[in-house]
Structure 1
Amino acid sequence: MAEAQKWWIFMWVAGSGVLLYLLAPVLTPFLIAGLLAYMGHPFVVRLEQRGLSRNNSTLTVFSAISLLVLMLPIVIIPLLERQIGVFVNNWPSYVDWIQRVALPWAQQHIGFGEHSLNLDLLKQAFVDHWRQVGGTAIGLVAVVSKSGLALLEWMANLVLIPVVTFYLLRDWGDLTEHLRSLLPRAAEPKICCVAKDCDEVLGTFMRGQLSVMLALTVIYTVGLWMVGLDLAFLIGLLAGIVSFVPYLGLIVGIAVAGTASIVQVHDLSLLLFVMAVFGVGQLLEGFVLTPWLVGERIGLHPVMVIFSVMAGGQLFGFFGILLALPVSAVLVVLLRYAHDEYLESSIYGAAGDMETRVISGSETIEKSVVGTTETALPDAPKSKAE
C-alpha cells in the first residue's frame, strides 16, 4: 500500500473518531436503536423464511420489542420500589444483627477489633444519606420538569428510538449489503470473514448471555419468593444481573440472600432453602440454559470479564459498562485474526524458514553420505558357476 493511501486511511479514521466524540451527546438514541435492531434482525429473517413479507416481519418483531420494553418498567419499577422500601425499613434489624451476632463471631474467630466499626454512626449515616438521596432525587425531578428544553429533549429521544429501530429493522439487510459493496475488492473476503466471526460472538452475547441473565433473574426471584424471603425480587435481580461473570451471581446471591434470611428468621432454617434455590439455578444454568441459549461462551476469561466491566465504567461511565463485554468480545476476535496473521508473516516465519533450511540441509547431507557409502562399497564377487 502506498504511503499516500496509508495517510488518507489514517486521516479518515482519526476524523471519524473526532466526529463521533463531538456527536456523542446526540448518539445515545441511535446507539440504543441500533442495539435493539441488531438483536431483532435474526427474528425478522426467520419470519421472512416462513413466508411473511419484509414489512410484516419487521412490524411483528418491532411490536414484540415495543411491548417488552413497555412492560418491563411497568412491572419492575413498582416491585423495585416496594423492595427498596422493605430494605430501608429493615435496615436497623440488619445493623442490630451485625452488632449482636456477626461482630462477636468475627472478634472470636478472626480477631476483628471491637471498636473497628461504629454501628451507631453507620446507622445514622445511612439514614441521613438516604434522606439526602431522596431529597436530591425529588429536586432533580423538579428541575427536569421545569426545564422545558430538557423535557423536550427527553421526549424527542423517546420518540426517536422506536422510529429509528423500525427503519433499521426493515433496512438492515440493504445497509449491510451497501457497506459490503464499498469494501476494497482485494480485502473483501477477509473483512467479511472477520465481520462474520464478530457477528457470531456478538450474537452469542447479546441474544444468548442476556437471555441467560433474564432467565436466572426469574428463577432466583421466583425461588426466593416461594421460600418466603422478603427481599426476593431485589436479590434475584442483583444475582441475575451479575451472573454474566461465571459464578459471581451464585456467590453474591448466596451471600446477600443468606444474610437477609438469617436476619429475617433469626435461625438457619430459611438459609437452607435459599442455598437450595441457588443450587437449582446453577444446575439449570450449567446443563440447560447455557448449552441451549448460548452454546460456547464469548471466549473471555472471568478475570478479563471483570477487568473489561471495570475499565469500561471508569472510561465511559454507564454506557461503558453496557458495552464493555461486547467490545471485548469483538477485540478477542480481532486479536485472534492478528495472531494468525502474525504466525503467517515473514517476521514469525523467518525462524521457521531457517529451521526448514537446516532440516533440508541435514537431509541433503544424510543422503549424500548414504550415496557415498553405497558408491564406495565393492561389488559382490561373482560365483564360479557364472
Structure 2
Amino acid sequence: MQFTPTQKRGATWFLIAAIVLLALWLLGPVLTPFIVAAVLAYALTPVVDKLDDLGHGRMPRVLAVLIVEALFLLTLLSILLLVVPIFAKELPLLREQVPLLADRFNGWLSPLLAQFGIKASLDVASIKAFALKYLNANFEEAFGSVLSSLKLGGSVALAIVGNVVLIPVALFFLLKDWDRIVGLVMELVPPKMRASVDSFTEEADMVLGQYLRGQLLVMGVLAVYFSVALAVFGFDLAVPVGIFTGLAFFIPYLGFGLGMLLALLAGILQFGGLYGVFVVFGVYGAGQLVESFYLTPRLVGERIGLHPLAVIFALLAFGQIFGFLGVLIALPASAVLLVGIRRLKATYMSSKLYQN
C-alpha cells in the first residue's frame, strides 16, 4: 500500500505528538517545574520586552528580567499571605465554636431522627476533645509537628523545596533567552513547513494572549465583587477572602469552590448561625451566575471559542493524565489544540473526501 506525501507527513507529526505526550506522562514530576516556568515565561516575556523598549536598549535585558521576576514573586507572595490572616484569626474561633455548633446540630438532629424511630446522637465529647487537641492556637506546637512530618517525609519535603527554588531559576533563564530558545526550536522545522508553522504559532499566540487577558480581567472583576459584597454584609475578612476567591478563578470551578469554603468558614465562625451561610450562598451564587453567563463568555469564552462543557472536560482530562500540572495548563493547552482542530476542520471541508 502506497502512502501519499501528505499521509506520511501526517503520520510523522502524529508519531512526534505521541512521543511528546508519552514523555510528559512518564516524566511529569521532573518536568513540572520546567513547564510551570515555561508557562510563566510565556506570560511575562511581553512585559520584559516592553521594559526593554522603554529603556531604548540602554537597559540590559538581565536587569529587565530581574525587575519583572522580582515584582512577580512579590505579587505571588502577597497573594499567598492573604490566606494567613484567615487561618490566624479563624483557628482560635474554630476551637471555640466547633463544640457549640456540635451541640446545636445534635439538638436539632436527635429529635428529628426520633420522629422516625431512630435513636442517634453525635459524640459531642469526642468533638470537643478534637477541637481542644487539633484546633488550638499553639503555633509553636503546630510548627513542631510540621518539622516532624518533614523528617518523616524527607523526599517529599525535598521535592517541594527543590521546586520552589528551581522554578524561579528556570524562569530567569527562560525570560533571558526566550527569543533565542524559540529561534532554536523553529530551526528544527523543515523549511517547506515553516510558513504553515509560523501561521499556526501566530494564531495560537493570539488565542493564548486573548485568553490570558480575558482571564485576568475576569479575576480582577470578581476579586473586587466578592470583596465589596462580603464587606457590605459585615464580613471581617471580606477583603482577603474576596481577593483570594477572585484570583483563584484562574483554575475554573476549583478556585470558586476553595473561595466559597473559606467564606463559609469565616461566616459561620463570625456570625455563629445561618446568617453567614445564607449570605455566602447568595453572594457566591450571584457571582457564579455573573461569571458563567456574562464575564467568562464575553471576556474569555468568545475569545478562545471553548464551550463550558469543553472546559470541564479539559480540566478533568488533563488533570487525570498530568495531575495538578494538567489542571494548570488545561485551558491554555486546549486553546492551542482548538487552533489545530480548526485547521484540520478547514482542511477536511475543502478536501475532495468531504465535497464528494
Q: Please report the TM-score for the alignment, with normalisation by the length of structure 2.
A: 0.70
Q: 1:339 aligned to 2:345?
A: yes
Instruction: Report the Cα distance in structure 2 between the residues aligned to 1:45 and 1:216, rounded to whole angstroms.
Output: 29
Question: How far 1:129 sits from its partner (Å)?
Answer: 11
Tell me which amino acid in the other structure corresponds to 1:309. Answer: L
Q: Which one has more relative contact order, counting CA pairs under 8 Å at least 6 apart?
A: 2
Instruction: Report the Cα distance in structure 1 between the residues aligned to 2:283 and 2:10, rounded to whole angstroms.
Output: 60
* Residue of 30, 37, 42 corresponding to 1:38: 42
Map 1:274-313 to 2 at 5 A: 275=282, 296-313=302-319
Instruction: Report the Cα distance in structure 1 between the residues aligned to 2:208 and 2:196, rounded to whole angstroms.
Output: 18
**Contact 2:224-2:243 within 8 A present in 1 as well:** yes
Give the aligned CA root-mean-square deviation in angstroms.
4.9
Q: Secondary structure at the match of 1:120?
A: coil
Q: Which moved more, 1:87-96 or 1:40-49?
A: 87-96
Question: Which residue does the alignment assign to 1:348?
Answer: 354
Describe the superposition over 1:187-240 as per-residue Cα deviations: whole angstroms up to 9, x where unpaired: 222222222222222233334314522542353135314532356455774576
Percent identity, please: 28
Question: How far 1:155 sits from its partner (Å)?
Answer: 3.7
**Contact 1:209-1:294 within 8 A present in 2 as well:** yes
The gaps in structure 2 that reach 5 residues or longer are none
Question: Which residue does the alignment assign to 2:55?
Answer: 51
Question: How far 1:47 sits from its partner (Å)?
Answer: 2.1
Based on CA coordinates, which of the two structures has the bigger radius of gyration?
1
* Residue of 42, 55, 68 corresponding to 2:75: 68
Distance change >3 Å, CA 280–CA 307, structure 1 → 2? closer
Map 1:1-386 to 2 at 5 A: 1=5, 12-53=16-57, 54-83=61-90, 86=93, 89-91=96-98, 120=122, 141-145=147-151, 151-229=157-235, 232=238, 233-234=240-241, 237-238=244-245, 241-242=248-249, 249=256, 260=267, 264=271, 275=282, 296-350=302-356
Q: Please report the TM-score for the alignment, with normalisation by the length of structure 1.
A: 0.66
Q: Secondary structure at the match of 1:327?
A: helix
Question: Which residue does the alignment assign to 1:378?
Answer: none
Question: How far 1:259 sits from its partner (Å)?
Answer: 11
Instruction: Report the Cα distance in structure 1 between the residues aligned to 2:276 and 2:15, rounded to whole angstroms.
Output: 66
**Contact 1:313-1:321 within 8 A present in 2 as well:** yes
Q: How many aligned positions are there?
A: 341
Distance change >3 Å, CA 79–CA 261, structure 1 → 2? closer
Distance change >3 Å, CA 55–CA 294, structure 1 → 2? farther
Question: How far 1:270 sits from its partner (Å)?
Answer: 9.5
